[in-house]
């Protein structure tokens, strides 16, 4: 606050001369308008942050609250609601500067105003300086610019009618330095002003003027301007610098001017007294905020310049999105950087790193700007950042685990949260009464309000930390479920206490308390209901998206988001709504949408969620860098920390004691420790505290600072230490294991057994309910919500079988490769056995990466990505014949390698590729000779084979028709292509061994990649042309004629033995027509994909 | 509590059952009530027909086999202690019980829980789950949407996975081994049967 005095002085001086005029100063100049409009806007939303005294609090931003009368809705706030100063000034400066420099250079030195819109050489030069040392130069700039206004201390730069209008951005910058000072003065003083409320009233009156203005002007742009005017009106009051701009100026500006003038006309004082400088400064400082600025400025600018501009530099035009994008970029880059060092990320949770980064960035912004330009605002948080995270949580919720522990979760979420809120609030109040905290203007209700917002465990923080600490799933689901479900409690408690606080302590009646309790049930059940309804809707919609595959994933997001908004609208618990929407729809959606869409949904969701999380933590850090919000009270802060930890621990212990009497799986002491310690607070608490009304909650700043401290402490300190703690306590970790077929099968049997035993013993337990539900689901829900094909083909046992098979096959192939040949796989005796469908993209259950790589492979190899056309293709017998023919052809026709390049990769060609190709051609030729030789000698009849294949197809078909599986045919046709294309390739590695080792080594290396690939998505694995074909082992319908017992490459006996699954005992995968499911990271998530996806081409088994 | 204990006394052999099987008094009372409900004719034992009356069991794919498992060795009736003995397999494991190494292994231990499902598979009681037996189980559990051929291949896969000695069938030890990673104590327990 060191800088405050001088600033204030300055301000004081201004006030003296400016104040009287301030009221009348309404006739703002256009230039004001520009900047100010923005500012007005900004301010409107910045307000919840509590800085601006006149800000209309909460009304707009607060999703959590129901309507709050005042203040227009913000028109769009983005990531940061700069308080006071809109722009990322630094950024703006740099960008604008660069732009202008470029332009200037491009056009040569003498840059006339008309050349570049409004750019004057002087100004652009000044900019350079200014960016270097903003304040002094801008001041200089101001003095340099001629000012017309009589009363102005500085010469006014723009003669009214003659000079082209300075574009807003330019203006903003020239004046940039000063406004900062003033504004700072404003900000510093405002909040604490005693007379504030008086102002406020006046301000309230003001909007009338603005309205007038608005009335005069028309159009949306105008409206904004109107509000700008309004904001402006407020300004003088606090700042007291009356600004005036000659009226004459207005006309130029076009409508904006008019609008403002309209407001001005209503003002008391006609004189335009202002210091233009002030105006300029303000406009600029304020950031020339973006949208409004851009809109407003343009007309004026255009009017003033003649001719067509080849290039214009329109920063304002893009400012907001640009800044948002930049922030996101920064956050993402930061993530990359964090993960450069595995050591760091394995110790420090990412969320903590992000917060620290945020602090650093905030520091930089502050240093450059002296204003906290960016903060995490409740609106942005609740409307844009939170939903993706919660949706992600719901959509990937391991349902069985979740519902199995629902009772426990609910107890912790409801009772635990209430307990935390009450004890924390009351204890703080008790300490306060003892006088330890000094003199604070807080009542009991304020403490309870604070307790309620600080009580809730935060889903974002918990997820961020627990995902890195792999505790066992029961523990995870309990803590995480609690953090999700406690939202309803938090909302209700918060709303109740807030309204109590607003009401005033003495007016709270018992009826209100009862209402509060009732509202809890309404809010929570209502939210859940909304979620379920939307889930139903969503499932239903995805059932019919067969022909619009491309937009399929969109439905998932849009409808879920609507559930969030709807329940917000009804003032129900939005988090519950979107969570349950995700939970309920997952099964049906995953069954309905196509494999590609499922992957898209999965990745988009993960991307959004993790992006949002990144931004949240970073902005939490940034938001903390603002001296204005910091109010320190050691006792309060420390005690809060102590109380929330202690009471959480006590609460957990008490509840667990009760629960353990009913739980089958007991929660041990160490589990309880982790649960207490894992009670992280996060952005939800912060957003809620920022929403508080400073008028009502006098010590809001103290609350804000404390919340920030608590959040930082829990996320950074506890997040940092929880991992060692978990290790030290030897908490049972979660193990990621592929389910074995036996386990799956017997697991299923156990379910049946348990429910039967429950039936027999006449008890209604989990198993009974689950059984009932799954019957109901199978009989009714699935029928309605799933497409027919999906209903048929969902069986998890098969999935597991499928997956295991795939895995075996891959390792088998890899093994074969290692031994130098794949030949053994297809030795004639076994070729019929090996029909594992490698084609289908089957993500391994646990690793996401695997599924990506599969997807990529799939896409890379499938020539056509047009899902619709794929869908619509129908296989016919003719196709089969075609295939046979094609197949035959393919073996004998040489196909230039070139084609595969396009198929597989455009960017992964290594220099040695050409060499390899040459070799391949050679080999291929040799092979063909060998083949013809062999077939002649051995009498292998290709045609016979083909006939056999054909026959099989027919038989298969018949079988299929008995089981109507509409999807299958589609699928196989889908695969025909790639298979054919790939097959040739496929044979490459294996035929080579006889010829030379280099080729082989390539293959081996490559296969090594493949195996690695299931875990990590390595680009070589994906793109390597050799790989994809290997997946198609089974796809080779015909016996490659070149393989024969005589083949030199038949593996040794030993090799056969050691290979994980030699062809003989390779599981015979009957033509599986089932869907392959994309399984999610949660094992239990029932990822049912489209049947069609899964089905390997019919051709493949044989 | 009075009614509970008074009823408990009517249960035949209540003390031996409790000692041997470990159900709590309350559970026993509850189960006894259930037993009597199932016993339509008040004959003091249950026969297969009594159990088949339970509606939910009819739709349970393993229902018949489970009912069968209550009647050891083809007997026609099961009395209360037999009834409870079967159910005792599903009693959750208590921590205290584990501490006593000398006591005979309780019915709800891992090694005692597993035979129950095993004998559901092992229809011919030869101590091995043959491929055919496995296939039958799969057939009832998986449902119609899977083709026979797929079922067979799954069966093969399952048997191969568990089969270690290569005899083409799964012995009990192999069965146990294939499930060693599974938390049987938890999976095969029902909370309310304390």
- Mean pLDDT along residues A625-648: 86
CB contact under 8 Å between A801 and B182, yes or no, is no
- Mean pLDDT along residues A1001-1008: 41
Cα within 13 Å of Cα(A485), Cβ side: 26
With CA atoms as reference, report the closest residue to A883 among A820, A748, A976. A976
Mind listing the domains of chain B with CATH numbers? 1-88 (1.10.238.10), 115-178 (1.10.238.10)
My answer on whether A423 and A296 are in the same domain is no
CB contact under 8 Å between A760 and B146, yes or no, is no
The whole domain housing A169 covers 20-59+81-340
CA closest to A757 among chain B residues: B87
C-alpha–C-alpha distance, residues A220 and A214, integer Å: 9
Q: How many Cβ atoms are within 10 Å of A928's Cβ, its own excluded?
A: 17
> Lowest mean pLDDT: which of A319-323, A325-329, A918-922, A1066-1070?
A1066-1070
C-alpha–C-alpha distance, residues A791 and A895, integer Å: 42
- Mean pLDDT along residues A659-670: 81
Task: Please indicate if any CB of chain A lies within 8 Å of the CB of B98.
Answer: no
Alpha-carbon distances of A636 from A166, A447, A695, A752, A987, rounded to whole Å: 51, 11, 20, 56, 73
My answer on whether A823 and A772 are in the same domain is no
Model confidence band, residue A918 (pLDDT cutoffs 50, 70, 90): low
Residue in the structure block whose two tokens are 């392959």: A1076
- Please give the angle made by the CA atoms of B187, B189 and B194, to the nearest 5 degrees: 160
A321 pLDDT higher than 70:
yes
Of A664, A747, A752, the CB nearest to B189: A664
My answer on whether A675 and A762 are in the same domain is no
My answer on whether A833 and A748 are in the same domain is no
CB A286, CB A63: distance < 8 Å:
no
Q: How many Cβ atoms are within 10 Å of A152's Cβ, its own excluded?
A: 23
Model confidence band, residue A178 (pLDDT cutoffs 50, 70, 90): very low
CB A729, CB A674: distance < 8 Å:
yes
Q: So what's the pLDDT on residue A256?
A: 36
> Lowest mean pLDDT: which of A81-90, A118-127, A464-473, A583-592?
A118-127
CB A784, CB A537: distance < 8 Å:
no
> What tokens were used for A836?
């594992």
CA distance A663 to chain B (A): 7
| Max Cα–Cα distance, chain B, nearest Å | 60
Q: So what's the pLDDT on residue B192?
A: 64
- Please give the angle made by the CA atoms of A24, A29 and A30, to the nearest 5 degrees: 145
CB contact under 8 Å between A757 and B192, yes or no, is no
- Mean pLDDT along residues A149-158: 39
Model confidence band, residue A529 (pLDDT cutoffs 50, 70, 90): very high
A185, part of any domain: yes
Please identify among residues 731-790 of chain A the ones whose CB lies closer than 8 Å to any CB of chain B.
737, 740-743, 745-750, 752-763, 765-768, 771-772, 775
What is the tally of structural domains in chain A?
Answer: 4
Q: So what's the pLDDT on residue A54?
A: 36
Q: Cα-flanking dihedrals φ and ψ of residue A753, to 5°?
A: -60, -45
Helix pair angle (A315-340, A350-369), 10° resolution: 140
Does ipTM surpass 0.90 in this model? no
Of B30, B63, B121, the CB nearest to A756: B63
C-alpha–C-alpha distance, residues A758 and A765, integer Å: 7
A780, part of any domain: yes
My answer on whether A893 and A754 are in the same domain is no
Model confidence band, residue A530 (pLDDT cutoffs 50, 70, 90): very high
C-alpha–C-alpha distance, residues A505 and A447, integer Å: 12
pTM of the shown model: 0.57
C-alpha–C-alpha distance, residues B30 and A753, integer Å: 20
Question: Which region holds residue A1088: left if phi is over 0, alpha if psi is between -120 and 50, else beta?
Answer: beta
My answer on whether A207 and A126 are in the same domain is yes
Residue in the structure block whose two tokens are 């129900």: A572
- Mean pLDDT along residues A792-798: 57
A738 pLDDT higher than 70:
no
C-alpha–C-alpha distance, residues A428 and A451, integer Å: 9
- Interface probe, candidates B46, B190, B193, B194, chain A, greatest A C-beta count within 10 A: B190
- Mean pLDDT along residues A168-195: 39
**CA dihedral sign of residues A515, A520, A523, A526:** negative
> Lowest mean pLDDT: which of A641-655, A667-681, A926-940, B174-188?
A926-940
Task: Please indicate if any CB of chain A lies within 8 Å of the CB of B72.
Answer: no
Q: A24 or A332: whose pLDDT is higher?
A: A332
My answer on whether A309 and A416 are in the same domain is no
Of A754, A775, A801, the CB nearest to B190: A754
Of B146, B156, B158, the CB nearest to A745: B158
Of A698, A727, A756, the position where a domain reaches its end is A727
My answer on whether A278 and A412 are in the same domain is no
Burial A51-84 (b: 16+ CB within 10 A, else e): bbbbbbbbbbbbbbbeebebbbebeebbbbbbbb
Contact list, B93 vs chain A (CB under 8 Å): none
Residue-wise DSSP of A962-1012? HS--THHHHHHHHHHHHHHHHHHHHHHHHHGGGT-HHHHHHHHHHHHHHHH
C-alpha–C-alpha distance, residues A854 and A852, integer Å: 5
> Lowest mean pLDDT: which of A215-229, A541-555, A563-577, A811-825?
A215-229
Q: So what's the pLDDT on residue B48?
A: 76
A362, part of any domain: no
Of A741, A743, A1070, the CB nearest to B150: A1070
C-alpha–C-alpha distance, residues A744 and A798, integer Å: 9
Q: So what's the pLDDT on residue A651?
A: 92
- pLDDT over 90 for what percent of chain A? 5
> Lowest mean pLDDT: which of A224-233, A584-593, B161-170?
A224-233
Q: A95 or A1069: whose pLDDT is higher?
A: A95
- Residue A183 DSSP code: H
A564 pLDDT higher than 90:
yes
Burial A572-597 (b: 16+ CB within 10 A, else e): bbbbbbbbbbbbbbbbbbbbbbbbbb
> Lowest mean pLDDT: which of A569-573, A1058-1062, B113-117?
A1058-1062
Coil, helix or strand at residue A471: strand
C-alpha–C-alpha distance, residues A35 and A277, integer Å: 13
A132 pLDDT higher than 50:
no
Model confidence band, residue A266 (pLDDT cutoffs 50, 70, 90): very low
CA distance B2 to chain A (A): 22
Q: How many Cβ atoms are within 10 Å of A140's Cβ, its own excluded?
A: 16
Task: Please indicate if any CB of chain B lies within 8 Å of the CB of A798.
Answer: yes
Q: So what's the pLDDT on residue A577?
A: 92
Please name the residues in contact with A841: beta carbons below 8 A apart, sequence gap of 6 or more. A595, A599, A851, A854, A855, A857, A858, A1076, A1078, A1093
C-alpha–C-alpha distance, residues A365 and A330, integer Å: 13
A497, part of any domain: yes
- Residue A733 DSSP code: B
Q: So what's the pLDDT on residue A1056?
A: 39
Task: Please indicate if any CB of chain B lies within 8 Å of the CB of A642.
Answer: no
- Mean pLDDT along residues A951-975: 45
- Mean pLDDT along residues A268-284: 38
B10 pLDDT higher than 80:
no
Task: Please indicate if any CB of chain A lies within 8 Å of the CB of B107.
Answer: no
A581 pLDDT higher than 90:
yes
CB A904, CB A1025: distance < 8 Å:
yes
Q: A74 or A375: whose pLDDT is higher?
A: A375
- A637 burial via Cβ count (<10 Å: 0-12, 13-18, 19+): buried
CB contact under 8 Å between A742 and B178, yes or no, is yes
> What tokens were used for B86?
């079967």
Q: So what's the pLDDT on residue A16?
A: 35
Q: A570 or A289: whose pLDDT is higher?
A: A570
C-alpha–C-alpha distance, residues A699 and A12, integer Å: 26
A409 pLDDT higher than 60:
yes
My answer on whether A53 and A183 are in the same domain is yes
My answer on whether A746 and A710 are in the same domain is no
- Mean pLDDT along residues A268-285: 38
List helix spans (H) across A438-545.
444-455, 459-466, 473-503, 510-543
My answer on whether A268 and A387 are in the same domain is no
Of A316, A340, A364, the position where a domain reaches its end is A340
B88 pLDDT higher than 50:
yes
CA distance A678 to chain B (A): 25
Q: A929 or B82: whose pLDDT is higher?
A: B82
Contact list, A1062 vs chain B (CB under 8 Å): none
Of A680, A704, A727, the position where a domain reaches its end is A727
- Under 8 Å CB pairs connecting chains A and B tally to 166
- Mean pLDDT along residues B99-128: 69
A12, part of any domain: no
CA distance A800 to chain B (A): 10
Radius of gyration for the alpha carbons in chain B, expressed in angstroms and rounded: 19
Please name the residues in contact with A646: beta carbons below 8 A apart, sequence gap of 6 or more. none
Model confidence band, residue A1090 (pLDDT cutoffs 50, 70, 90): very low
C-alpha–C-alpha distance, residues A1092 and A235, integer Å: 64
A1102 pLDDT higher than 90:
no
Please name the residues in contact with A200: beta carbons below 8 A apart, sequence gap of 6 or more. A53, A54
CB contact under 8 Å between A765 and B190, yes or no, is yes
Cα within 13 Å of Cα(B147), Cβ side: 20
Model confidence band, residue A739 (pLDDT cutoffs 50, 70, 90): low
Of A748, A794, A1071, the CB nearest to B141: A748
C-alpha–C-alpha distance, residues A236 and A278, integer Å: 10
Please identify among residues 1065-1094 of chain A the ones whose CB lies closer than 8 Å to any CB of chain B.
1065, 1067-1074
B81 pLDDT higher than 70:
yes
With CA atoms as reference, report the closest residue to A45 among A5, A92, A80, A95. A80
A928, part of any domain: yes
- Mean pLDDT along residues A370-374: 72
Q: So what's the pLDDT on residue A362?
A: 87
CB contact under 8 Å between A771 and B152, yes or no, is no
C-alpha–C-alpha distance, residues B59 and B31, integer Å: 23
A532 pLDDT higher than 90:
yes
Q: How many Cβ atoms are within 10 Å of B20's Cβ, its own excluded?
A: 16
Please name the residues in contact with A724: beta carbons below 8 A apart, sequence gap of 6 or more. none
B41 pLDDT higher than 50:
yes
Q: A610 or B27: whose pLDDT is higher?
A: A610
CB A200, CB A53: distance < 8 Å:
yes
Mean pLDDT for chain A? 62
Q: A1087 or A928: whose pLDDT is higher?
A: A928
Task: Please indicate if any CB of chain A lies within 8 Å of the CB of B142.
Answer: yes
Model confidence band, residue A251 (pLDDT cutoffs 50, 70, 90): very low
Model confidence band, residue A567 (pLDDT cutoffs 50, 70, 90): very high
Please name the residues in contact with A387: beta carbons below 8 A apart, sequence gap of 6 or more. A560, A561, A564, A574, A578
CATH code at A481?
Answer: 1.20.1530.20
Please name the residues in contact with A647: beta carbons below 8 A apart, sequence gap of 6 or more. A419, A420, A423, A424, A427
- Interface probe, candidates B157, B167, B172, B180, chain A, greatest A C-beta count within 10 A: B157
CA distance A975 to chain B (A): 20
Q: A298 or A764: whose pLDDT is higher?
A: A764
Cα within 13 Å of Cα(A392), Cβ side: 22
First to last CA, chain A: 81
A841, part of any domain: yes
A307 pLDDT higher than 60:
yes
Helix pair angle (A574-592, A473-503), 10° resolution: 140
My answer on whether A419 and A550 are in the same domain is yes
C-alpha–C-alpha distance, residues A1004 and A1010, integer Å: 9
A360, part of any domain: no
Q: So what's the pLDDT on residue A938?
A: 52
Length of chain B: 194
- Residue A591 DSSP code: H
Which residues, listed in sequence order, are joined to residue B70 by a DSSP beta bridge?
Answer: none
Contact list, A1064 vs chain B (CB under 8 Å): none
Q: So what's the pLDDT on residue A535?
A: 93
């Amino acid at each position: 606050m060191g800088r405050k005095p001088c600033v204030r002085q300055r301000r004081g001086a201004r006030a003296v001369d400016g104040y009287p005029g301030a009221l009348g100063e309404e006739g703002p100049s256009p230039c004001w308008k520009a900047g100010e409009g923005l500012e007005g806007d900004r301010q409107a939303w910045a307000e919840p942050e509590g800085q601006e005294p006149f800000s209309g609090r909460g009304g707009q931003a607060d999703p959590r609250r129901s309507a709050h009368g005042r203040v227009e809705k913000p028109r769009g706030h983005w990531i940061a609601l700069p308080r006071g100063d809109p722009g990322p000034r630094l950024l703006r400066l740099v960008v604008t500067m660069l732009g202008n420099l470029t332009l200037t250079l491009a056009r040569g030195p003498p840059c006339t105003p008309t050349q570049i819109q409004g750019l004057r050489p002087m100004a652009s030069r000044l900019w350079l300086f200014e960016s270097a040392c903003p304040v002094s130069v801008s001041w200089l700039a101001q003095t340099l610019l001629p000012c017309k206004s009589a009363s102005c201390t500085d010469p006014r730069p723009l003669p009214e009618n003659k000079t082209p209008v300075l574009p807003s951005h330019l203006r903003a910058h020239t004046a940039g330095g000063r406004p900062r000072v003033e504004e700072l003065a404003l900000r510093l003083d405002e909040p604490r002003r005693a007379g504030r409320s008086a102002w406020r009233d006046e301000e309230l009156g003001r909007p009338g003027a603005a309205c007038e203005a608005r009335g005069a002007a028309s159009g949306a742009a105008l409206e904004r301007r109107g509000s700008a005017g309004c904001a402006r009106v407020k300004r003088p009051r606090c700042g007291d610098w009356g600004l005036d701009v000659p009226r004459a100026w207005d006309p130029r500006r076009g409508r904006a001017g008019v609008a403002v003038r309209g407001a001005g006309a209503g003002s008391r004082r006609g004189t335009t007294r202002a210091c233009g400088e002030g105006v300029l400064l303000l406009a600029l400082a304020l950031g020339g905020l973006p949208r409004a600025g851009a809109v407003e400025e343009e007309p004026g600018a255009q009017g003033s310049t003649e001719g067509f501009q080849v290039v214009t530099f329109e920063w304002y035009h893009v400012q907001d999105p640009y800044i948002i994008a930049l922030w996101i970029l920064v956050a993402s880059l930061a993530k990359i950087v964090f993960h450069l060092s595995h050591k760091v990320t394995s110790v420090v949770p990412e969320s903590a790193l992000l917060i620290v980064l945020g602090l650093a960035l905030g520091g930089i912004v502050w240093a450059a700007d002296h204003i906290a330009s960016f903060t995490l605002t409740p609106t942005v948080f609740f409307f844009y950042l939170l939903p993706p995270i919660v949706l992600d949580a719901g959509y990937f919720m391991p349902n069985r685990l979740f519902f199995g522990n629902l009772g426990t979760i609910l107890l912790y979420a409801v009772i635990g949260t209430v307990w935390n809120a009450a004890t924390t609030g009351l204890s703080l109040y008790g300490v306060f009464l003892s006088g330890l905290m000094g003199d604070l203007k807080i009542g009991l209700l304020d403490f309870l309000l604070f307790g309620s917002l600080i009580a809730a465990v935060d889903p974002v923080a918990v997820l961020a930390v627990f995902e890195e600490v792999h505790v066992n799933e029961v523990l995870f689901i309990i803590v995480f479920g609690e953090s999700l479900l406690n939202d309803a409690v938090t909302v209700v408690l918060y709303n109740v206490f807030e309204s109590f606080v607003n009401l005033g302590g003495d007016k709270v009646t018992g009826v209100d308390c009862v209402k509060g309790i009732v509202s809890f049930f309404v809010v929570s059940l209502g939210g859940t209901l909304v979620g379920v309804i939307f889930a139903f809707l969503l499932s239903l919609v995805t059932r019919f998206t067969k022909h619009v595959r491309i937009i399929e994933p969109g439905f998932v997001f849009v409808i879920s988001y609507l559930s969030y908004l709807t329940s917000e609208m009804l003032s129900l618990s939005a988090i519950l709504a979107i969570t349950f929407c995700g939970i309920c729809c997952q099964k049906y959606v995953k069954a309905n949408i196509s494999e590609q869409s499922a992957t898209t949904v999965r990745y988009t969701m993960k991307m959004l969620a993790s992006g949002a999380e990144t931004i949240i933590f970073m902005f939490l850090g940034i938001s903390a860098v603002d001296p204005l919000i910091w109010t320190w009270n050691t006792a309060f802060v420390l005690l809060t920390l102590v109380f929330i930890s202690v009471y959480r621990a006590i609460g957990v212990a008490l509840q667990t004691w009760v629960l353990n009497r009913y739980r089958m799986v007991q929660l041990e002491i160490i589990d309880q420790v982790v649960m207490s310690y894992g009670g992280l607070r996060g952005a939800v608490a912060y957003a809620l505290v920022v929403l508080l009304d400073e008028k009502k909650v006098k010590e809001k700043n103290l609350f804000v600072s404390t919340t920030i401290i608590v959040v930082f402490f829990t996320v950074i300190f506890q997040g940092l230490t929880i991992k060692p703690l978990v290790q030290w306590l030897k908490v049972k970790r979660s193990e990621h294991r592929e389910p074995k077929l036996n386990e799956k099968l017997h697991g299923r049997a156990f379910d049946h057994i348990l429910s039967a035993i429950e039936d027999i013993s006449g008890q209604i337990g989990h198993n009974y309910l689950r059984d009932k539900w799954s019957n109901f689901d199978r009989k009714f829900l699935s029928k309605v919500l799933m497409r027919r094909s999906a209903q048929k083909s969902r069986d998890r046992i098969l999935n597991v079988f499928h997956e295991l098979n795939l895995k075996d096959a891959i390792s088998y192939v890899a093994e074969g490769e290692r031994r130098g040949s794949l030949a053994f796989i297809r030795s004639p005796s076994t070729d019929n056995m090996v029909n594992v469908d490698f084609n289908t993209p089957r993500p391994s259950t646990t690793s996401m990466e695997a599924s990506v790589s599969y997807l990529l492979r799939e896409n890379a190899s499938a020539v056509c990505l047009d899902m619709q056309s794929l869908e619509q293709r129908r296989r016919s017998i003719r196709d089969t014949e075609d295939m046979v023919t094609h197949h035959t052809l393919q073996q004998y026709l040489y196909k230039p390698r070139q084609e595969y390049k396009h198929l597989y990769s455009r960017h992964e060609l290594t220099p040695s590729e050409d060499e390899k190709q040459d070799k391949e051609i050679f080999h291929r030729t040799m092979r063909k000779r060998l083949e013809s030789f062999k077939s002649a000698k051995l009498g292998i009849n290709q045609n016979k084979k083909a006939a056999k294949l054909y026959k099989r197809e027919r038989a298969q078909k018949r079988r299929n028709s008995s089981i109507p599986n509409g999807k299958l045919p589609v699928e196989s046709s889908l695969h025909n292509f790639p298979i054919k294309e790939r097959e040739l390739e496929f044979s490459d590695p294996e035929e080579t061994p006889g010829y030379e080792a280099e080729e082989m080594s390539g293959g081996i290396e490559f296969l090594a990649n493949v195996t690695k690939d299931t875990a990590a998505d390595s680009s070589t694995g994906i793109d390597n042309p050799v790989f994809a074909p290997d997946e198609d082992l089974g796809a080779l319908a015909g016996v490659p004629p070149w393989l024969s017992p005589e083949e030199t490459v038949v593996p040794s006996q030993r090799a056969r033995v050691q290979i994980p699954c030699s062809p003989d005992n390779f599981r015979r995968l009957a033509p599986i027509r089932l869907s392959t499911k994309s399984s999610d990271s949660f094992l239990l998530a029932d990822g049912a994909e489209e049947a069609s996806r899964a089905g390997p081409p019919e051709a493949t088994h044989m | 509590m009075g009614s509970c204990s008074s009823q408990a006394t009517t249960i035949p052999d209540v003390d031996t059952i409790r000692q041997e099987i470990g159900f709590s008094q309350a559970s026993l009372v509850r189960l006894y009530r259930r037993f009597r409900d199932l016993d339509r004719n008040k004959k003091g034992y249950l026969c297969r027909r009594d159990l088949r009356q339970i509606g939910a069991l009819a739709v349970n794919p393993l229902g018949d086999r489970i009912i069968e498992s209550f009647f050891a060795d083809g007997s026609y009736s099961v009395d209360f202690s037999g009834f409870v003995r079967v159910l005792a397999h599903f009693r959750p494991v208590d921590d205290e019980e584990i501490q006593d190494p000398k006591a005979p292994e309780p019915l709800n231990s891992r090694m005692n829980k597993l035979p129950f499902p095993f004998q559901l598979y092992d229809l011919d009681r030869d101590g091995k789950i043959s491929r055919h037996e496995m296939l039958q189980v799969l057939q009832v559990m998986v449902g119609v949407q899977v083709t026979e051929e797929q079922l067979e291949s799954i069966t093969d896969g399952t048997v191969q996975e568990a089969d270690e000695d290569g005899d083409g069938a799964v012995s009990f030890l192999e069965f146990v081994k294939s499930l060693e990673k599974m938390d049987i104590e938890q999976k095969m327990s029902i909370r309310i049967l304390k």
